Amino acid sequence: MKKNNLVTKSNDLIEMPLKMSVVELRIIYVLISIISPEDQEFQRYRFKISEFAKLAGVKNKNIYAQVKEYTLNLMSHPFYINENLQVNWLASAEYFPNEGIIEVEFSPKLKPYLLQLKEKFTSFRLNDILKLKSAYSMRIYELLKQYEKLGQRTLKVQRLKELLGIEDQYPVYSDFKKRVITKAQQEINKSTDIEFSYVERKNGRKVDEIVFTIKTKAKQNVTILPATEAVSSVQTHTAHRLSDRLKKEFGLTTITIQTILKAYEKDYITEILDIVKIDVLSGRVHDIPAYTVAALKNDYRKKKTELDMELERQHTLKLEKEQKSQLQQQYYATVAEKLNQYIIAMSEEQLNIEVQAMLHSVADKDIEIIITDVRDPQLMSGGYFRQYLNKKYFSDYTFDVFMLDITTA
C-alpha cells in the first residue's frame, strides 16, 4: 500500500451527499486505493494495521481500538446510493491482533461504483487527498477533480452544502465561505495537483451559486540522474507508466498490455492514448478497451489535426467566457462603488428626500424599509436603497458603456 496509489471512484459515487469525518474519509480513500482495476469482485483486503493507521492519520496510542471504532462507524452509518438504496461502506472488518493485520471487505452493493469502471469515473492520487486536513477540503477536491479536464464547474450553494452533508449549517453565506470554501481553497491550492479560483453569482443580493475555475498544476521537477543511469531509469519508468496507464485509464488486461508494449514504440502508444482520451472525454466512446486496441492497430493519429482544432476552439471559447465573467464582476463592482460614493456625498437633507421618494415608489409593495439602515450596503434596506438609486441615476451606465470606458482609458 503506497501513497502514490490511485483512488478511482464512479462519478455517481462522488456526487452522493456524504457526511463523514476526516479520518473516516481517509480510511475509505486508503481502502479504495487498494482495489485492482482487474478485480471483478471485492476481495478481502489485508494489510498492516500500523501502516493503515499511519496513512489514515490515526495518531492515538491505542491504534487498534481507534481503528476498530472507525471501521464500526463505516459499517453502521449507511448512506443513500439513490432514493431506494441505503448501503454501508463496509460489509466486514476482521482483526488479527497477533499478526497486526486487519482484513476488510466492501459492501457488495458498491460494486458498480468501484469495480470494473470503464467510463464516467474519476481518479486521483491517494497522496494528494491525504495531505488535506479538512473533510470539506477532501470532498471539494474530488468534486472539482471530476471536472478538471473541463476546467470549470458551477454549483448552487445549497447543492454544495448537501454534497458536503452540511445543508442545515452556515445559514449566513459569509460564514460558509470563510469556514468551508476559503479553507478548502488554501489547502487544495497548496497541497494537491490542482488549484482553483471561484466567482460568486448572486440572485438578487444573495449568493446563489459558485463558479469554480480549475487548473492543473505543472508537474514537479525530478532529480537528474547520471547519464547511463538516467537512460535505464527513464526506459523502465516509461514502460511501467504506460503499463499502469493502459490498465487503470483504459481498462486493458495484463496480457493485452504486454502484447501492445512489444508490438509498438512507446512514443506511438503515448500519442494514440492521448487521442483516445480526447475521444473518451467527448462522449464518443462506449467500450474504451476495444476502442484503444483499434486506435493502436489502425493509427488514429490521422484524426489528430481535426481534434486539435476543436480543442483549440473550445479553449478559446472558454477563455472568452472567463474574461467576460471577470469583466462583468468588475462592472458590478464599479457600479457598487459609484453608488457608495454618491451616497457618501449626500447631505442628510438630500438623503431624506431620496428615501421618501423611494418609500413612495414601493408603497404598494410588501417591502419594509428601515430609514437608519439605508446607508449600509450589507443591510436589506441599504440594498433596496441602492437598487432604487441605480435605477434612477445610473441606468444609463450599462455594461457596454463600462467596456467603452476601460478600452478608451
Q: Is the pLDDT of residue 376 over 50?
A: yes
366 and 402 housed in the same domain: yes
Q: Decide: 84 and 34 in contact? Cβ < 8 Å.
A: no
Which CA distances in Å does 263 have to 251, 260, 295, 297? 18, 5, 14, 10
Residue carrying the nine cell digits 478608451: 408
Residue 122 lies in a domain: no
143 and 188 housed in the same domain: yes
Residue 306 lies in a domain: no
Q: What is the mean pLDDT of residues 314-318?
A: 71
The grid coordinates of residue 403 equal 467596456
What pLDDT score does 362 carry?
76
Q: Decide: 206 and 173 in contact? Cβ < 8 Å.
A: yes
264 and 328 housed in the same domain: no
Q: Answer with the residue of higher pLDDT: 179 or 304.
A: 179
Residue 141: CB partners within 8 Å, gap ≥ 6?
Answer: 124, 128, 129, 132, 184, 188, 192, 194
Domain boundary pick from 234, 256, 274 = 234
Query: What's the pTM?
Result: 0.54
270 and 340 housed in the same domain: no
210 and 101 housed in the same domain: no
Domain boundary pick from 272, 298, 324 = 298
What pLDDT score does 143 carry?
95
190 and 218 housed in the same domain: yes
Residue 170 lies in a domain: yes
8 and 111 housed in the same domain: yes
| 14-18, 137-141, 264-268, 321-325: range with lowest mean pLDDT | 321-325
320 and 399 housed in the same domain: yes
Q: Is the pLDDT of residue 313 over 70?
A: no
Domain boundary pick from 275, 298, 321 = 298
Residue 123 lies in a domain: no
Q: Is the pLDDT of residue 189 over 90?
A: yes
2 and 103 housed in the same domain: yes
* Crossing angle for the helix pair 348-361 and 380-393, to the nearest 10 degrees: 90
d(CA 392, CA 275): 56
Q: Decide: 343 and 382 in contact? Cβ < 8 Å.
A: no
Out of 90-104, 225-239, 266-280, 301-315, give the one with best mean pLDDT: 90-104
Q: What is the mean pLDDT of residues 345-370?
A: 82
Residue 305 lies in a domain: no
Number of domains in the chain: 4
Residue 239 lies in a domain: no
What pLDDT score does 161 carry?
94
Q: Is the pLDDT of residue 120 over 80?
A: yes
Residue 121 lies in a domain: no
What pLDDT score does 345 carry?
86
Q: Quick one: CA dihedral 162, 166, 169, 175, positive or negative?
A: negative
d(CA 402, CA 60): 59
What domain range includes position 319? 313-408
Which CA distances in Å does 392 have to 271, 359, 362, 385, 388? 60, 14, 14, 11, 6
Residue 303 lies in a domain: no
Q: Answer with the residue of higher pLDDT: 366 or 195.
A: 195
331 and 374 housed in the same domain: yes
Q: Is the pLDDT of residue 123 over 50?
A: yes
Q: Decide: 153 and 212 in contact? Cβ < 8 Å.
A: yes
108 and 144 housed in the same domain: no
d(CA 224, CA 239): 19
| 136-145, 247-256, 294-303, 314-323: range with lowest mean pLDDT | 314-323
CATH number of the domain bearing residue 32? 1.10.10.10
| 145-154, 191-200, 236-245, 326-335: range with lowest mean pLDDT | 236-245
Strand partners, 156: 209
Q: Is the pLDDT of residue 409 over 60?
A: no
220 and 260 housed in the same domain: no
What pLDDT score does 61 carry?
67
207-255 pLDDT per residue, tens: 999 999 999 987 644 333 333 333 333 344 456 778 888 888 888 888 8
